[in-house]
Chain A
Amino acid sequence: MPNIDRRDFIKLVGAGSVGVGAGFMLRETIKHPTEQLIPHVIAPEDFSTGIATWYNTVCSMCAAGCGISVRTREGRAKKIEGNPSHPVSQGRLCALGQAGLQVLYNPDRLTGPLMQTGQRGSGSFAQVTWQEGLDKVADRLELLTAENQGNRIGLLSQGVRGHLAQLFELFADQLGSERLLHYDFDHPHTLYAANHRFFGEARLPYYDLKNTRYLLSFGADYLGNWISPVHHSLGFGHSRQGRSDVRGRFVQIEPRMSMSGAAADEWISAKPGTEGILALGLAHRIVSEGHYSGVDRDDWTTALSGYTTDQVAEQTGVGADTIRRIADTFVHTEPSLAIGGGSAANHSNGVDTLVAVNALNYLVANIGKPGGLVFNPEPAGPASQDRQASYRTMLELAEDAKQGNIEILILNGTNPVFSLPSAGFEEALAEIPLIVSLSSFMDETTALADIILPSHTYLESWGDDFPEPGVGFSIGSVSQPVVSPLYNTRATGDIVLQLAKQAGLSDAIPWSSMKDFIKDGWRLIYDRGGLDTQKESFESFWRSILKAGVWGEKTHRDPAFTLDKRVINSIAVPPPEFSGSSDAYPFILHPYVSTTLHDGHAANLPWMQELPDPMTSVVYGSWVEINPATAGQMNLKEGDLVDIESPHGQIRAPVYVYPAIMPGVIAMPIGQGHVTYGRYANRGVNPIEILSPRVDQRTGALASSATRVKIKATGRRIELVKTGGNSRELGREIVQTTGGKASQGHSAKLNSIPITVVPT
């Protein structure tokens, strides 16, 4: 035994203590962690622990207006599904609709009112109270209104419908401002204008895909993001395999294959911008072959005389045989339907193209018939004026701002700095003394605001919607909060009501909350409703709408329609015009709204960033699609970084060799390229930056497919992040196919498309 002196003893005691401590901590770390059981202070009435509660409300992720049911547990939203009794979604929902949960629970949300402290664009904001923020805005509003300078107030919102739209109308009216605009990058201006020219009403009809047997789509990615993709998908599925006697067939005409092109039986690439000429070529064939026998037959013959099959084949690059075959099938397969949109509508001749598409429907007399095109009745709710700003209108707004005619600009959820090409919008904003944003996120436009009054997300707010287009009869839906607000934010409607109150407008706008305003509005629908509504009190009517999430009136429009002769005589599609000479800029740029990120507003949702692009499987980035032969000639391979230059700018992106795009066209998805929109969004490039300011002449809508570009290899390359291995089957027979005959008579009647939207 060694001698242990005092010092050794102290050392040993020290070692022992360390051991004891370590042993104690060791068990502490491997021990089952302590969990807590936190009870309610007062038990809530509407949910029980461990049992899911579902709320019916309305999706706001795109303009389709699907009814949704949100599953909540212990007061938190867990899952979004389609509302089975809602005629638009019928229980189904798209990827973007599901990802709405990540708008609510996004880590980059604005959590309270902010005031810009440094220079605009410096990104330095200080937190303020709601009172401070509201006072500052309301005082200026009151001052301008009192001086009769209300028109110096601008209100720029994303597209809104229902009572929120009406509230904005009321607010602008009381302020004395005529500058109330909605702006969405992908709003189908040309379609509204074409319907106005052809049918005499600037509204969207219902396209009955469900019952059609032959669909011609001119550029409209109806399964991807055109107008109402979930409802179109329901119709597509049913048309394909839901009927025992017939399988619907689909033809897609576009320069770059979209999701709808992949689903179609036949994909035809006409030269960009000549889709309308092709439509008239088909019309010519139908009329000249004697398949049209209406009283105005001679007018059509005259109007279409310049669109003989051979001429059209030459102009569009589509074979004469194909034109004849499609025209004959279109007229002989009843019912058939033609739709147009997307890139076909985004040219300098966009409206004319879509008028030509309407002409096809007219010639096969499918208007008002099942499987055709059905007029929608007046919306049941507040008929808001069409406030959608075209590109030209936005330029005028920018010009006004530069002239110093706008003193306050209130922004609501729209992001023109990101989605407006070469408009000098940022410079215009610099001339506006006070910019207020009601956005929930720090988007590129909000980053330039002086005061940010962040609004709730749609899952925390009251609202309502009257879907446009409807489904052939009147429907409306109320959206209700499904969770309590997460942060110190307020509902958009409540902010506007509060501003109105503080600006001294409470005589005309007396409501204290958006819920009251909506409820009062629905009282009108209740009072007017001739159906069964009068049997019950308004309160029980209101409760039943909240429970069902939707209200409908099965009144249909009279399908009768007479076409004005002048419309026939004026039918013509001029050739498309492009910016940039074809020598200096050999490629036509085909920018398309991303299926996953839409116009970029979904870029901050991690589920959407990680959702492979349906066609290329690329995630988390930008890319440029090039025809394989062209890529071969230019010696470009996947991942090669190239500079894409237009007369208006230059961006850099990696190449994706895309088998289904015309030579001479390159395509890029819109959606990436954010810089202030949060941790998931700030990546990639934004092709809107290099678009030319060319517009459709009739509407002033941006002709986003009318820019010519050139590409230069940079010599650098990156690895594209995408799923999957080889994009060819290599004989593995993974996706098997069969001829058309085999499927006849064996289609399954699935028992859940519960709602027939068109009288049969």
Chain B
Amino acid sequence: MSILDRIADGWRKYRKPGYYDEFDYHWGMTVDLDRCTGCEACVTACQSENNLPIVGEKAFAEGREVKWIRIERYWEGEFPDVKLRFIPMLCQHCDSAPCETVCPVSATYHNQDGLNTQVYNRCIGTRSCAVYCPYEVRYFNFYDHHWDSPLDQQLNPDVTVREKGVMEKCTFCIQRIRQAKDVAKDDGRRRVRDGEVQPACVQTCPTQALVFGDRKDPESQVSKLMNNPRTYRVLDELNTDSSVVYLKKVEDDHA
């Protein structure tokens, strides 16, 4: 078997139905667009939890900001029949992720929990993954970021600070998942309970638009929401098989 076949095999294996059955979790998230108000509490929660840099006005103008979760806004119609629709956009943790196939050093790959990983110390900064990602949710560190003292005292010790030349993105708060698994082990449980682990964005969402959980557990909130007839995946036609599922915004006529 040539090395190319081996790699292809590796990529293919977790796309088979039932791949995740042999493991404990298959993490997923639902985003109810009918609840989302675009308040961006999630954005700041993520920034605070994951040591996202303050890039400054100049870098921001160059499009070099780093926001693992952001709110996209789309206008519809013209005055006076005009609407603004919000959508939180974060790494979709695709089960068939385009970014994973392209990384020359396997710094990004799919793990057994259904997470699209990013290993910073392995990343060499080719930025290919960002090019391949159709959701534009991968962020490159163009600079060594700096926190004016004493802002650095806020940095979360459970998350590393990424240096220049490294790609980064949403991890579904892997540090919180790890912590929850740790607690479960202490309690002698094999599995984490539903709701026991919430990424920072889900935890803070004031309208509960975001819900996170294990898709393998049929009783989890996230599994139930994924059966809602309003579900859809963004850019589903690309067959990315994303783990973030959106619930359509309800817009009825005024009658």
Contacts and interface: CB of A to CB of B under 8 A. Distances in A.
A236 B246 CA distance: 18
A78 interface: yes
Nearest to B251: A737
A310 interface: no
Contact of B154 (A95, A105, A262): A105
Contacts of B72: 724, 734-735
Nearest to A92: B206
Interface string A720-732: 0101100111001
B54 A607 contact: yes
A615 interface: yes
A263 B38 contact: yes
A744 to B, nearest CB: 10
A738 B37 contact: no
Contacts of A230: 206
A11 B140 CA distance: 48
B40 A738 contact: no
Interface stretch (B9-17, B44-52, B103-111, B113-121): B44-52
Nearest to B157: A73
B39 A629 contact: no
B198 to A, nearest CB: 10
A710 interface: no
Nearest to A99: B44
Contacts of A620: 57, 60
Interface stretch (A139-147, A522-530, A746-754): A746-754
Contacts of A742: 229-230, 248, 250
Nearest to A487: B150
B79 A93 contact: no
A269 interface: yes
Nearest to A729: B74
Contacts of A82: 204
Contacts of A751: 195, 221
B204 A92 contact: yes
Contacts of A724: 72-73
Interface residues of B, number: 78
B41 interface: yes
A738 B250 contact: yes
Contacts of A595: 39
B123 to A, nearest CB: 20
A73 B180 CA distance: 17
A564 interface: no
B21 interface: no
A240 interface: yes
B2 interface: no
B39 A94 contact: yes
Given A723-B65, A738-B249, A78 B224 contact: no
B1 interface: no
A649 interface: no
A229 B84 contact: no
A95 B43 contact: yes
B84 A93 contact: no
Interface in B104-163: 148-157
B174 interface: no
A102 interface: yes
Contacts of B206: 92-94, 229-230, 233-234, 237
* Residue among A107, A242, A608 facing the most chain B CB atoms (10 A cut-off): A107
A223 interface: yes
A628 B78 contact: yes
Interface in A76-95: 76-82, 91-95
B164 interface: no
Given A606-B54, A614-B38, A98 B44 contact: yes
Interface in B202-218: 203-209, 211
B70 A723 contact: yes
Q: How large is the interface on A (under 10, 10 to 19, 20 to 34, 35 or more residues)?
A: 35 or more
B186 interface: no
A553 interface: no
B75 A98 contact: no
A738 B251 contact: yes
A257 B35 contact: no
Contact of B254 (A325, A610, A629, A741): A325
B85 A735 contact: yes
Contacts, number: 261
B55 interface: yes
* Residue among A101, A234, A241, A719 facing the most chain B CB atoms (10 A cut-off): A241
A106 interface: yes
A628 B254 CA distance: 25
* Residue among A77, A617, A719, A721 facing the most chain B CB atoms (10 A cut-off): A721
Nearest to B58: A721
Given A619-B60, A735-B33, A628 B224 contact: no
Given A93-B206, A262-B83, A266-B254, A748 B150 contact: no
B82 interface: yes
Contacts of B49: 79
A734 B253 CA distance: 21
A267 B253 CA distance: 12
A617 B87 CA distance: 13
Given A237-B209, A240-B35, A241-B35, A610 B86 contact: no
B61 interface: yes
A694 interface: no
B200 interface: yes
A739 interface: yes
B154 A721 contact: no
Contacts of A105: 150-154
A234 B250 CA distance: 18
A659 interface: yes
A614 B39 contact: yes
Interface in A446-460: none
Given A105-B153, A265-B254, A751-B221, A612 B40 contact: yes
Contacts of A734: 72, 74, 87, 234-235
A224 interface: yes
A659 B74 contact: no
A259 interface: yes
A740 B78 CA distance: 22
A755 interface: no
A659 B74 CA distance: 11
B241 interface: no
Given A93-B45, A607-B44, A740-B250, 16 more contacts: A78-B154, A78-B157, A92-B206, A105-B150, A223-B37, A234-B206, A234-B207, A236-B207, A241-B34, A325-B255, A607-B47, A610-B65, A728-B76, A737-B248, A738-B251, A750-B208
21 contacts: A78-B157, A80-B48, A92-B206, A94-B39, A98-B47, A98-B48, A107-B149, A241-B35, A260-B37, A265-B254, A486-B150, A610-B60, A619-B65, A620-B60, A659-B75, A659-B78, A736-B246, A737-B248, A739-B253, A742-B248, A743-B229
Interface of A: 73-74, 76-82, 91-99, 101-102, 104-107, 223-224, 229-230, 233-234, 236-238, 240-242, 247, 249, 257, 259-263, 265-267, 269, 325, 486, 595-596, 606-608, 610-612, 614-615, 617, 619-621, 627-629, 659-663, 679, 683, 719, 721, 723-724, 727-729, 732, 734-743, 746, 748, 750-753
Q: Which 5 A-B pairs have the closest CB atoms?
A: A740-B252, A237-B207, A233-B206, A95-B44, A262-B84
